[in-house]
Amino acid sequence: MKYLGITLAKPKIGVFGFTGCEGCQLQIANNEENLKDLFGLIEVVNFREISSEKRGDYEIAFIEGSITTEKEAKNLKNIREQAGILVAIGACACLGGVNNMKSRFPLQDVVKEVYGAHSIDTGPVRKVREIVSVDVELPGCPISKPEFEWLVRHLVLGIEPQFPKYPVCVECKQRLNSCVFDMGMICLGPVTRAGCDAVCPRNRLGCWGCRGSSEEANFESLMEILREKGFSEEHIAERIQFFNAFSGN
């Protein structure tokens, strides 16, 4: 196969889901417009959402979801042993994501509240990189279809993908968007890594930080502004903890 005149290997890929809503896998599977072209670049050998094939000879593994049981951790380690390249996709895999909400409360209380008397195997939420080494993290909740295609082209061509390091505010301003702070909403755009084209602020929603922290984010300044604007500590904490994107800050 040739791409822009270059002969390409057609890597075998596997897509695997752990604890998550499968929305990131759906972003790949529901990309009808470009799926044929995309699957011309790669050979899908293991992807439960779209195929009954379950081969173990994949070279690139895409991992969706966070890790919440020992069984998941063991499966993930086996996948890491097989895959030459391991890519964590989505906020759950990269940050812990919305699953991390349960970590704010004692685990036994959460299990009792949700499952009652049923016994359920669930433990603390861990990011993929807390269990195995990760070569690339593709952020977002869910991941974006064009960014996934862009990443696959880079992997196939052997080019290291470079994600934006600057914050969502840059893209928001480039789109001449009105700031949602002026509409009385919280927005984490000043400290969140760009790349989503500021999709939430463009649709009159504050950013929730699903792409993780931008580089050199001035977290203290943002906190000052949020307090100055009169947002309660509870409201601020809820927003900041939502995707577990800023646990290091």
* Contact residues for ligand SF4, defined by CB under 6 A: 20-21, 23-24, 64-65, 90-92, 97-98, 141-142, 168-169, 172-173, 177, 179-181, 187, 189-190, 192, 196, 198-201, 207-211
Nearer to ligand SF4, 13 or 89 (CB): 89
Complex with ligand SF4: residue 198 or 217, whichever CB lies closer: 198
User: Which phi and psi (to 5°) does residue 104 adopt?
Assistant: -80, -10
The nearest distance, CB 145 to ligand SF4, in angstroms, is 12
Give the separation between CA 9 and CA 34, rounded to whole angstroms.
Answer: 20
CB of 91 to ligand SF4, least distance (A): 4
What gap in Å lies between CA 196 and CA 186, rounded to an integer?
Answer: 18
Output 46 or 244, the one with its CB closest to ligand SF4: 244
CB of 202 to ligand SF4, least distance (A): 8
Q: Are strands 85-89 and 60-64 parallel, antiparallel or unpaired?
A: parallel
Q: Which is nearer to ligand SF4, 43 or 124 (CB)?
A: 124
Q: CB within 8 A of 207, min separation 6: which ones?
A: 168, 187, 188, 189, 192, 198, 200, 201
CB of 226 to ligand SF4, least distance (A): 11
Nearest residue to ligand SF4 on Cβ basis:
189
Q: Encode burial over 167-203: b for 16+ CB neighbours within 10 A, e otherwise.
A: bbbebbeeeebeebbeeebbbbbbbbbbbbebbbbbe
45 versus 88: smaller Cβ distance to ligand SF4: 88
| Cα–Cα distance, 243 to 139 (Å, whole number) | 11
Q: How far is the CB of 60 from ligand SF4 (least distance, A)?
A: 18
Spatial separation of the C-alpha atoms in residues 188 and 208, rounded to whole Å: 6
